Amino acid sequence: MDSVTQALVKDFVESQSLTELPPDKQFEHFAAYSVISAHYTEEFDTSDVVVGDGQDLNVDAFAVKVNGRLATDTDYIDDILEMNGYLDAEFIIVQAKSSSSFDGAAIITLGDNLVNEIFSETQKLPVNDDVKKLIKIKETLLQNASKLKSNPVCRIYYVCTGNWTNDHYLVEAIKRKRQELLDTNLFSDVIFEPLGARQIQAFYRATKTSISREVKFEKLVTLPTINGVSASYLGVLPATEFLKLLSDSDGDILKSVFVDNVRDFQGDNPVNADIAKTITDGLFDQFVIRNNGITIVARDIRVVSNKYMLEDYQIVNGCQTSNVLFANKDLITENLFVPIKLIHTVSDDVAQSIIKSTNKQTNVEENDLLALTQFQRDLEDFYQGVTGDTKLFYERRAKQYASDEAVEKSRIVTIGNQLKCYASMFLDSPNQASRYQGTLLKTVKERVFQPSHKPESYFLAALTGYRFEMALRKFSTEERDIRPFKYFLLYAFRLRFENEEFPGANNRKIGTYSSFLIKYLTDTAEAKQALDESVLIVRQALNATGLPVVRDSAKSRPLVDAVKRIAIERRAAALSATS
């Protein structure tokens, strides 16, 4: 491995706390993170995408992107389908070798396994649980083929640390395997791309930069000076220019620019159908007067003549319009204009007030504004006040810490991760934590992120999740079968080690309650002991319920009840032994 790639792998491994892994697995995680991040702009845990050793069919990592999110299992797809009414799918397959040469035999074998096993109607070779998950997700997508907007895209990457020289044999081998996959008629397109040292270096460096796009904005007026706003503009932008702000390097929609929007795309509802009809009927001249427009907030705007370079921007109002325009981009010409409000501010206060006010002018429920509440900002402030080895970073905005070299990426807590940890630990819902985030939030929305809640129990849940995750990464291959139950481990820990019943997040005693449990998490050694006890409880509960130690068992409600009973029994026994 060359010294530059080696340095980048070292940087990644240290930032993700993966130093305990052997070098070949470190490179697999590095390659998976770099490649998948090129197509998915939100934070994710590489442990969820890197495939276990043995019976992996030469797949080292995979991700299945469905409607812009990473599908974790088949239920996740069902949740997305129920919420959106359609499916838009993409497979990302990675094989990573730290060797300095491209292995033609390995490339061919990977292609053969994809054609004859993973994407075949039947499988003949034994596969591990991770590959089984990939196959099940594939099957669920195909069973819902009528709901697919188009056949899935399949992206395959062979990554090594050599130099790609367009060797004729390798080029032809890749071309043939790509065609064989296309001949299955399962995919709308297949991309089979070899990545050498320079390419994977570029992919990794791209993960550390914020989104920036340049558009030509000619028809606009500059608004008067506004307190807290560096500059603001009002005008109309050709849809062909606006689409540049929505597209990634592969021509897919950039989901990350809608993170600060109060709603995800709602699919083919009556309002969106009406927007689409304006386009499909060719009423381009009327679009600008029929539409309320798009509000864009950028943390930096550089202007040269009529060209505007937007950096770290969010579409805070107009998610529905944006998605409809993107879905119909092939019909759009420069004669269709979009009303635009463009605001340059670095003030979070101003940005949040813009988001709330622009969205309250439409029919948006207060619950849709959940992520924008003062509670979220207070929670972020609480995290910032924590020092020492329990320090974590609360990420309210996507890629908030992407370019901050001082932040250990494994210590970043996203809103979605916070929701899953808190709901698992304190809302008796570890069996629902793997669900689509929107579905989970809908289930527990009255009991989470409430204005009266204090931040201590949220931080405790996230810290437990972080400590346990770091410890799980050091488990042996045989022990890692417990990983699908990681949210049950948080639940077991709380019930086993709390010294009083959870008083509620709004109770004045929650600080004392949380501090008592945090003492078990102050360093990695103590956290490992707490994890081992929690693992024992979950395994005992699995045995008591007769459930196998497989991923699907982690969705069992009876398992929740069994973990609760056993954890409380073990706590009582421990107290009795010390009295």
Cα separation, 355 vs 372, whole angstroms: 8
Cα separation, 35 vs 360, whole angstroms: 38
CA distances from 437 to 5, 196, 381, 433, 446 (A): 35, 35, 23, 8, 15
**pLDDT (0 to 100) of residue 304:** 86
pLDDT digits (tens, 9 = 90+) for 491-515: 999 999 999 999 999 999 999 999 9
Cα separation, 216 vs 208, whole angstroms: 26
CA distances from 465 to 48, 428, 557 (A): 14, 15, 21
% of the chain at pLDDT higher than 90: 47
**pLDDT (0 to 100) of residue 364:** 41
Place of tokens 């994977």: 200
β partners of residue 490: none
Identify the residue with better confidence: 488 or 149: 488
Cα separation, 88 vs 76, whole angstroms: 13
List the beta strands (DSSP E) in 160-216: 189-195, 212-216
In this structure, of 231-240, 263-272, 315-324, the range with the lowest mean pLDDT score is 263-272
Place of tokens 């390995």: 106
Identify the residue with better confidence: 291 or 260: 291
Residues 6+ apart with CB under 8 A from 70: 40, 44, 48, 49, 63, 64
Q: How far is CA 396 from the centre of its chain?
A: 13
β partners of residue 309: 214, 302
Q: How far is CA 228 from the centre of its chain?
A: 31
% of the chain at pLDDT higher than 70: 93
- The separation between the first and the last C-alpha atoms of the chain, rounded to the nearest angstrom, is 58
**pLDDT (0 to 100) of residue 373:** 67
Checking if the pLDDT of 60 tops 70, the result is yes
pLDDT band at 67; cut points 50, 70, 90: confident
Helical H segments across 361-503, by residue range: 374-385, 415-426, 437-444, 456-472, 486-497
> Nearest to residue 107, comparing CAs of 122, 121, 97, 117?
97
pLDDT digits (tens, 9 = 90+) for 165-194: 999 999 999 999 999 999 999 999 999 999
DSSP 446: G
β partners of residue 91: 64, 154
> Nearest to residue 219, comparing CAs of 315, 310, 334?
334
pLDDT band at 137; cut points 50, 70, 90: very high
Query: Contact 325/243 with Cβ under 8 angstroms?
Result: yes
Query: Contact 294/325 with Cβ under 8 angstroms?
Result: no
Q: Two tokens at 301? A: 């705007």
Region for residue 298 given its phi and psi (left: phi exceeds 0; alpha: psi -120 to 50; beta: otherwise): beta
Amino acid letter for position 193: E
Place of tokens 């635009």: 340
pLDDT digits (tens, 9 = 90+) for 343-368: 998 776 677 677 666 655 444 433 34
pLDDT band at 376; cut points 50, 70, 90: confident
Residues 6+ apart with CB under 8 A from 306: 216, 217, 218
**pLDDT (0 to 100) of residue 367:** 37
Q: Two tokens at 366? A: 């207060």
Q: Mean of the per-residue pLDDT values for the chain?
A: 87
β partners of residue 302: 309
- What angle, rounded to 10 degrees, do the helices at 524-545 and 486-497 form? 100
**pLDDT (0 to 100) of residue 369:** 47
**pLDDT (0 to 100) of residue 359:** 59
Residue 279, SS3?
Answer: helix
Element (H, E) at 222: strand 219-222
Place of tokens 């791209």: 206
Checking if the pLDDT of 54 tops 90, the result is no
> What average pLDDT does the segment 37-48 reach?
84
Query: In a 10 Å sphere around its CB, with 0-12 CB exposed, 13-18 middle and 19+ buried, how is residue 405 labelled?
Result: exposed
